[in-house]
């Protein structure tokens, strides 16, 4: 289980590095590395050289975004394997050999990929609809600007809540897959049943690790602000890098805790269903 979490973290870090490398290369090509301070200048207050690098690299941003989209899809697909391993570890009811375990996890990769892709598309769709609705409501501007904005914001908040629910549903479906659902479609159906039957229990299981994760991100953002890598001391960079990776590791652990909570809710219900069928 711990190994699965660490593997998931390491895989995400590697995937992120793949996505970030072109950005690093673009900035390096700007010439900022020729200054004695290197890219520390980009983090100085005032942002003189940060703005200059953005200006100099502006024309590169659209092709960079396009290539990042492609590599993003690849990374998205590749990270399904550690996800499948994590889910499989969480769904394990009895010890099994490494080969058997990995074979089971790999066999589930297509189903997990389908669930992840479907969940992502559903979230994008919901958010797009939310944005459209918010835009429509905001377009009916009145002199009461605050009210207009708050109405639009409410539409967005509802959309965000729905998108979050889509994510929870995807995870619950993942849990059913981990607990033995035959394929992605069966997992989705079973997950939807559990989602509708135990929304509050799921919300409670989700809320605590999600809140902890959010708090962790905010706390470290605050700490990093205080550390100010725009200043020259070398330890600042190291400290920030370590803090950031601790956040990502912490988020991975929070996610695993939520997955385990979901499995604990899903498993008895699935067993009850199969018991009833027998």
Q: Up-side HSE of residue 268: CA atoms within 13 Å toward CB?
A: 6
Our CB check for another protein shows the closer of 5 and 42 to be: 42
Q: Is the distance from CB of 176 to CB of 190 less than 8 angstroms?
A: yes
- Tokens 């979490």, residue? 5
Our CB check for another protein shows the closer of 262 and 270 to be: 262
Q: Where are the beta strands (DSSP E) in 88-159?
A: none
Supply the DSSP string of 191-221, one letter for each residue. HHHHHHH-HHHHHHHHHHHHHHHHHHHHHHH
Q: Is the distance from CB of 82 to CB of 11 less than 8 angstroms?
A: yes
**By C-alpha distance, which of 254, 91, 95 is closest to 187?**
91
CB of 193 to another protein, least distance (A): 19
**By C-alpha distance, which of 273, 85, 118 is closest to 181?**
273
CA distances from 251 to 39, 158, 171, 240, 254 (A): 28, 24, 15, 16, 5
CB of 199 to another protein, least distance (A): 19
CB of 275 to another protein, least distance (A): 28
40: three-class secondary structure by DSSP: helix
Our CB check for another protein shows the closer of 96 and 231 to be: 231
CB of 200 to another protein, least distance (A): 21
CB of 99 to another protein, least distance (A): 25
CB of 95 to another protein, least distance (A): 25
């Amino acid at each position: 289980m711990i190994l699965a979490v660490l593997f998931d973290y390491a895989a995400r870090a590697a995937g992120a590095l793949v996505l970030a490398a072109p950005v690093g290369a673009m900035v390096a090509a700007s010439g900022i590395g020729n200054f004695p301070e290197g890219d520390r200048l980009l983090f100085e207050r005032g942002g003189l050289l940060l703005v200059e690098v953005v200006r100099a690299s502006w024309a590169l941003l659209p092709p960079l975004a396009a290539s990042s989209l492609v590599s993003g899809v690849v990374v998205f697909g590749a990270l399904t394997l550690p996800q499948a391993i994590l889910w499989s570890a969480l769904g394990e009811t009895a010890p099994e050999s490494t080969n058997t375990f990995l074979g089971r996890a790999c066999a589930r990769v297509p189903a997990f990929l389908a669930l992840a892709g479907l969940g992502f598309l559903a979230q994008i769709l919901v958010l797009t609809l939310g944005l459209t609705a918010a835009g429509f409501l905001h377009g009916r501007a009145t002199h009461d600007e605050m009210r207009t904005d708050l109405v639009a914001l409410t539409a967005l908040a509802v959309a965000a809540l729905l998108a979050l629910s889509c994510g929870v549903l995807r995870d619950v479906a993942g849990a059913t897959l981990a607990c033995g659902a035959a394929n992605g479609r069966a997992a989705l159906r079973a997950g939807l049943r559990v989602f509708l039957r135990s929304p509050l229990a799921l919300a409670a299981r989700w809320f605590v690790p999600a809140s902890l994760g959010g708090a962790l991100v905010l706390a470290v953002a605050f700490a990093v602000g205080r550390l100010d890598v725009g200043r020259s001391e070398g330890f600042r960079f190291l400290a920030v890098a370590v803090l950031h990776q601790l956040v990502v590791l912490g988020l991975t652990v929070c996610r695993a805790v939520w997955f385990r909570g979901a499995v604990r809710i899903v498993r008895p219900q699935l067993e009850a269903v199969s018991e009833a069928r027998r």
